[in-house]
Amino acid sequence: MSSLITTEKQNHTLVVRLNRPDRKNALTRKMYSALADALDNGHQDSEVRCFLFTGNAECFTAGNDLGEFSAGLRDEFRASPVGRFLFGLANATKPVVAAVNGPAVGIGTTMLLHCDLVLAGTNTRFQMPFANLGLCPEGGSSLLLPAWLGRVRAAELLMLGGAFDASEALRLGLINRVCEPDETETTALALCQQLAAQPPAAIRATKDLLNRSSLKALEATMLEEGELFGERLKSPEAAEAFKAFAEKRKPDFSGFS
């Protein structure tokens, strides 16, 4: 397991931690591969009954490492590291909990749509700035958010890409509760212990029933989003957005049609 992604078993819970604090836990291909491997290993381990994804008290993740992803995805989406992780998360048969603090940008928000329970610290800022970067939604967000929030609210979050805090996420029904940042992980672990103490086959059956009606449509949407995301990474709009980000200026899209 990469040192940028650490795993630890705690009382039947596999704690999967994003551990790149110097880059605000920005995700690389190797980190996505390690996350996908953690899901695979946890499902194969009979002692693991629950997953907990977290970062630290200051940061969950700033999203993709733009310097690396500006070169494109390289692989067919489902076989790519990010595709392996997202499909692994969507198809997880054991419960998944997330403890989130600080920035939760891009996939830092969309991956939470596949979790069963999500806790967020008062310092959390969620954001899905895909359109702002010349990209498109990913992680099934273009299907799940309209279904959960209504189309106009989803359009606001995905088209304008503005940030919103934990209290707004709670109001929207995207998280279960708000915690103090230094209590988010311990509170989430307590919930994991409650889940781990439940009859495991009953929990898996319940999760399967909750996901079954939408899983085929979700997988199809994730594939469409992923392929278009790969194309958008090569677009002139994305090139301008990434260049502006590196130069710490506002991107200029006035010349595009």
- Tens-place pLDDT, residues 15-62: 999 999 999 999 999 999 999 999 999 999 999 999 999 999 999 999
Does residue 193 have a pLDDT over 90? yes
Whether residue 189 lies inside any domain: the answer is: no
Predicted confidence at residue 39, as pLDDT, reads 98
The answer as to whether 142 is a domain residue is yes
Res 2: pLDDT: 64
Look at residue 221 and tell me if it is in a domain.
Answer: yes
Encode pLDDT of 198-250 as tens digits.
999 999 999 999 999 999 999 999 999 999 999 999 999 999 999 999 999 99
Q: Tell the burial category of 149 from Cβ atoms under 10 Å away from its Cβ (0-12, 13-18, 19+).
A: middle
Residue at token pair 């390289």: 74
Burial per residue of 79-104, b for 16 or more beta-carbon CB atoms within 10 angstroms, e otherwise:
ebbbbbbbbbbbebebbbbbbbbbbb
Domain, as residue range, for 246: 1-181+199-257
Q: Edge-to-edge strand order for the sheet containing 117-121?
A: 5-10, 13-18, 50-54, 96-100, 117-121, 177-179
Q: What pTM value is reported for the model?
A: 0.96
What total number of domains does the chain contain? Answer: 1
- Report if residue 94 sits inside a domain: yes
- Residue 32 in any domain: the answer is yes
CB of 100 closer than 8 Å to CB of 60:
yes
User: Is the pLDDT score of 3 beyond 80?
Assistant: yes
- Here the tokens at position 87 are 């499909």
Q: Provide the 3-class DSSP secondary structure of residue 122.
A: coil
